[in-house]
Structure 1
């Protein structure tokens, strides 16, 4: 009844529920009526999306992203709009259902349906939906339960291993079939022969080794999900036979199908309506075919080189709104920093690419509207990364940068570049200002974020754009780095600093002349310093970290002093201090800025076997 403002309606419902003569069954019936009242007030489109949620198991936590994608694949949103508009509409519908209390919000990414609400939904769809999900079912329901009136069947999260040969359900109205997360290895050719109107088929996270030939009969199929088909044994080496007949496909997911290595030439040209295409990253995507899909808006896959990537972006620049692409020119399998798989975020990883010899026009397309960039084992980069930004089209949209094993990089920018950043408001500085996360792994020649930081200049520069949005900084195995090169005035939004296995680093933060006696990192929550055998100083001045929650200190035996300043009465935000194996004696010998800090923090210390 959320949204109902009439006092008369609320008073009437309350009176009925308070009636002492009402039996328990009657009270439950009253609750059902109240829930049904909320359901009835939704428009038809919202009702259908709500009922779709009941296909999941009882008490199941449902991913919002997954749910919205299901709304789209089953055409519960406006199919005439763009993919981005469909996503926007899907999330809007989901929020509406949560706001009227028919779904519970678990957190930012998950929702769930209360048992009573799910029972009501199953009651409403009785006869049209067959839902046996999350009940450890070992055999598929017999053909007698597959009635002609069924529109949706959900058998997800069960233990079904195979479907008996010859089974052929006669369900002319069936539009959605979900067999997700079953150890299913076999589907007989007969199974799809009488499912002519099937629009959405979900076989994701099963162990099928091949799809039956009868899949070619599904001319109305618009969404096919084969994601996470790990396929034990021989696995699928070719796409399902007859797939080229599925001319109405709008959504196709083959991500994480590890054994799928061959695509028939010209396959995707059979799918002119395709909007959503996810291919496995071990397979080279046919760039020419992808670039000719005029309706494609969301794409995940691997391109052979920068030129192929540029071709796709150039052809679909105003249309390809969501993509995750790996450009891999190497022969070794990619084991890099990893994709983020974030909803509605464009991600690009370059693996074993030589950028020095790429065409300028191709390079200019690399950073077109991306939020995540990974560089893994690449050549042709400058020793100062900022020098590469102009030729890489000034990635002002970039939020996350992960770099691994790129030996030419020595720093992000030189001291001269840093000191002129405020005076030269070039777009390449703005690219650094938008970065929210930096992760550096195994950069053998990296010596610091800013090379050779010198004395502060006078008069002090205004708040620079460099690194001003950075929230997370992680550096691992950069063994030439002696100082982090951290310009304090640029890191007022930093929330997490993690330095690990950098064997030469001696100091994290160096306060320059004229910067004051107290270093303030007001938003810092996590400080992790692990396996730094030569670290002698975190900071050469006092550090004020008013938001600090967790400190990790593992194998930093040369560190003698913690310059952190806390409220002497109580460090209210700090919850845990993790100290590595054999560190008790070392911890007790540490010097503190305030004589009571060691005793005050002792209850928060946890010694680990690390």
Structure 2
């Protein structure tokens, strides 16, 4: 006993006198931890550039712990420096404890299993393919599938004429490989097109492999790096679509070797010769359809497989014969004739086809008259012009629907409407019609395509990609349909988009009758100072996504009729002063010109309706904007503009306004914008926000908004990077009592996303913000770093009990909530707090019944997340995140939850299992936190 007391005394003395040394040791450890944090943040930035990549929750938790330890150290250091009443021995023990915790965080920083999750499989990496599949298709599919799973062939060619269905077949194979999780999920798809560029293809493959090639310019060294990265995958399938010309596979790191059967290459081409030159060991031809298959496909696309009236059927069969068994022609024809019932119209269609196909023996030449006939049947000139506009984009390009509609508005191609919402409704109607007649295809975002961001190569080429990366519906043109569109417009349009041009076309190529010129997505860096194309009728000039550094003043000299000028995503630093002379300009688009600092005076551009200065280095509103009375759209988000001078906005009739988040919205300027439909920006306080909301006309509902209230904050969470149409974010202290005049919050009724971060929530979310009960379109809610919040809903009998219908109505938003994120809520006890017995005040039926994603982390006081009576409501839940340690569990029961794929906790060895025999296959498929858990049970 004496020895033990002596040791304690010695240790206490040591702690007393060694406190400063221990603090120095702790400080050094923290500095090392901060270095690891910096490395981690850099690593995450690189990883998250890739579409479909999301940081792991455990990594986010680690980062938050690093921040927490830094704050804890600052507090401890303050106590030590202030000679506080806390004993030096206690402080020294605190320092010892922190040293061990910091060491542990340093050890954890390796994350050998990676720092991001690949969520692309559920987002972008499956293709939308046709449901109808004939016998020939099934045979071709089985043939390729046999080669893939066998050990005799490593490289397969799929060839056939344009429009015959090669890509559709390959996409179905891709989807099936993903579904079956073969080749360890390493299935990569790249569209090559006619404008093959090895450097770009190497970049695309590098991005897919999480390999940064930006610091290497030598083509051979880049190929070697790709080869090593592929070798590490052990097994993969590389699918190359739309290959027009031969190129050595060695240039992308593939060394064809019969010994490496874990590596498979599929080449899709119109040419058998190209397949052979690409060293394909077996080649499979996709042929045209038989007469019966062609007829079944036509019926399927025209009338969902239903039989046609006998007289119409006879004519329809003749129409189908004219399509010569080509699926693209059949699908397009069926779409154009969908809804036609008059037999006279059927006869007329057949006669037109007969005349247009006369004298055309070549199979592909027969296709163009059919496609042209479908185009002519549009009748409506607005539909025609909107369709032709899509051909200004590069071949095989996936075009965002919203971007297209915005362009239709800029180009004044649609019927006049009074609101932006009405324009968008009309635009979606137009695109739906073009999809319905099969002239456009609906698609999701292309795999490995970074929406709106263009890669030039080199570190500086990647400009705030996350800001531009929005998922959503896209459309694309089949390359044959695009060829047809380009033939129609060849006399008044020059389209050289995505052709990897290094220079602007020679002046003699610019014809005086040109209406539109598209040079987007090339490698044009300079325009000669003597270049001045003579194009007085030119209405649209698209130079976006080029590494263009400057434009000479003479360039626009003979383009005085220009309506739309798009210089987005270029490296231009200054605009030429001649811009000020383009008096008919409707849209000046400079988004992503991250070097641009100066814009010339714009007062003469009285026709200007759209001005996009977002993601630029411009630090003030251009001179003359206050006089642009026709301006409807002003986007300055992520620019360097910090203030807007008084009077600039008051005289404008803006429908769309986006301001940098570093700047607070000038309420006196914005409250007067009665026509405003879209708003993005930061209100200084709840009071300013309420003033703005009260200023809105009774019918002036905001259709899109992203509003931050209070202090600017940045939370790098997947939730915030997901595209939300109507989001409000409450920042630091914005809801604290005393920060607002009244308890009322003028929350928009159509809000779909709410974020609360250190804003001062008191106890119960629905008590703090009673206006939530009217937010019936709420889909997403996140609550982070709130010390005061205890629950989401409080059920009490302190007043008269609510009728069930009244209670249902008051909590209606929780019936439709889909995503709920709860992070770092130290006093949170559960979703519902009962102040009476649950039997007396049961939760409303249907509560949380639409919840699909629930994330709970660092909420240490939770005892019961929600009552058992509500568990049956969670039939839509497909993601539950937050690692749970359950050392005391002895028995686990999981019943009728077969959609669950990952179990978010680890189990001790003594845990037991109950399982029905018909659930064995589901059980074996579960992914556990610890791989051996499934075997232990």
Q: TM-score range by the shorter chain?
A: 0.7 to 0.9
Mapped to 2, the partners of 1:16 and 1:202 lie a distance apart of 42
Relative to 1, partners in 2 of residues 1:53 and 1:444: Cα closer, same or farther, differing over 3 Å?
same
Mapped to 2, the partners of 1:61 and 1:199 lie a distance apart of 25
Shift of residue 586 of structure 1?
4.0
Relative to 1, partners in 2 of residues 1:360 and 1:464: Cα closer, same or farther, differing over 3 Å?
farther
**Aligned residue number for residue 159 of structure 1:** 523
Mapped to 1, the partners of 2:696 and 2:425 lie a distance apart of 21
Contact 2:682 2:710 in 1 (8 A): no
Correspondence for 2:540 among 176, 179, 182: 176
Contact 2:708 2:728 in 1 (8 A): yes
Shift of residue 97 of structure 1?
0.4
Correspondence for 2:702 among 315, 318, 321: 321
Relative to 1, partners in 2 of residues 1:98 and 1:333: Cα closer, same or farther, differing over 3 Å?
closer
| Larger fraction in helix | 2
**Aligned residue number for residue 145 of structure 1:** 509
**Aligned residue number for residue 566 of structure 2:** 202
2:720 partner SS: coil
Shift of residue 402 of structure 1?
1.4
Does residue 311 (structure 1) correspond to residue 727 (structure 2)? The answer is no
| Larger fraction in strand | 1
Does residue 579 (structure 1) correspond to residue 922 (structure 2)? The answer is no
Mapped to 2, the partners of 1:564 and 1:311 lie a distance apart of 59
Relative to 1, partners in 2 of residues 1:303 and 1:226: Cα closer, same or farther, differing over 3 Å?
farther
Mapped to 1, the partners of 2:879 and 2:891 lie a distance apart of 16
Shift of residue 73 of structure 1?
2.4
Mapped to 2, the partners of 1:220 and 1:270 lie a distance apart of 21
Relative to 1, partners in 2 of residues 1:544 and 1:558: Cα closer, same or farther, differing over 3 Å?
same
Contact 1:151 1:176 in 2 (8 A): yes
Correspondence for 2:389 among 52, 67, 84: 52
Which of these two proteins has the greater Rg computed from alpha carbons?
A: 2
Mapped to 2, the partners of 1:553 and 1:138 lie a distance apart of 52
Shift of residue 421 of structure 1?
7.0
Mapped to 1, the partners of 2:576 and 2:715 lie a distance apart of 32
Correspondence for 2:492 among 122, 125, 128: 128
Gaps of 5+ in 2: 1-297, 326-356, 445-471, 598-615
**Aligned residue number for residue 811 of structure 2:** 429
Shift of residue 569 of structure 1?
6.0
**Aligned residue number for residue 41 of structure 1:** 377
**Aligned residue number for residue 82 of structure 1:** 419
Matches within 5 A, 1:479-498: 479-484=860-865, 486-492=866-872, 494=874
2:926 partner SS: strand
Relative to 1, partners in 2 of residues 1:415 and 1:366: Cα closer, same or farther, differing over 3 Å?
closer
State the TM-score, normalizing by the size of structure 2.
0.53
Shift of residue 172 of structure 1?
2.5
Does residue 411 (structure 1) correspond to residue 758 (structure 2)? The answer is no
Correspondence for 1:550 among 901, 911, 920: 901
**Aligned residue number for residue 820 of structure 2:** 438
Shift of residue 446 of structure 1?
1.8
**Aligned residue number for residue 606 of structure 1:** none
Contact 1:306 1:366 in 2 (8 A): no
**Aligned residue number for residue 29 of structure 1:** 365
Task: Provide Cα deviations, 1:446-503, integer angstroms capped at 9, x if missing partner.
Answer: 2221236986527x9585253233232122332333432x234435453xxxxxxxxx
Mapped to 1, the partners of 2:504 and 2:890 lie a distance apart of 62
Matches within 5 A, 1:395-410: 395-410=775-790
Task: Provide Cα deviations, 1:574-607, integer angstroms capped at 9, x if missing partner.
Answer: 8953334xx34444223xxxxxxxxxxxxxxxxx
Mapped to 2, the partners of 1:287 and 1:90 lie a distance apart of 32
**Aligned residue number for residue 568 of structure 1:** 918
Shift of residue 264 of structure 1?
4.5
Does residue 92 (structure 1) correspond to residue 429 (structure 2)? The answer is yes
Contact 1:305 1:328 in 2 (8 A): yes
Mapped to 2, the partners of 1:433 and 1:390 lie a distance apart of 16
Matches within 5 A, 1:444-459: 444-451=826-833, 456-457=838-839
Shift of residue 106 of structure 1?
1.8
Relative to 1, partners in 2 of residues 1:206 and 1:313: Cα closer, same or farther, differing over 3 Å?
farther
1:406 partner SS: coil
Relative to 1, partners in 2 of residues 1:385 and 1:256: Cα closer, same or farther, differing over 3 Å?
same
Of the structure 1 ranges 474-483 and 97-106, higher mean CA displacement relative to structure 2 is found in 474-483
Does residue 533 (structure 1) correspond to residue 913 (structure 2)? The answer is no
State the TM-score, normalizing by the size of structure 1.
0.79
Correspondence for 2:655 among 275, 285, 290: 275
